[in-house]
Amino acid sequence: MAVATPATAAPAGSATVVPIQVTGDPAKRFNLVLLGDGYTEADLPTFRAHVDRHLNTPRTRTPTWPSAPTRATGS
C-alpha cells in the first residue's frame, strides 16, 4: 500500500488578501472569504475570472439543483 505525503502548508503570513468588493464600514458588513482550493498559482487569473463571474451573475435558481421545485409553485 502506498502512503501519500501530505502537502506542506505555506507559512501563515504568506497569503495575499485581494478585496473583490468593498461595501461600507468594516464593522457593519458581512465578510465572505473565497478559497481557491484546486487552483495553482498559475491559475490565479482563471480563479479571479471565476469569482468575478459568479459574484456578478444574477441567479434566479439554485445552481446545484436547476429543476428543484419551489415552495410557491410546487413544480
pLDDT, tens digit (0-9, with 9 covering 90-100), for 5-63: 666 666 767 777 888 878 888 888 888 888 888 888 899 899 989 888 888 777 665 55
Cell for 45?
487569473
Nearest to 61 by CA among 70, 74, 49, 48: 70
Instruction: Give pLDDT, residue 54.
Output: 83
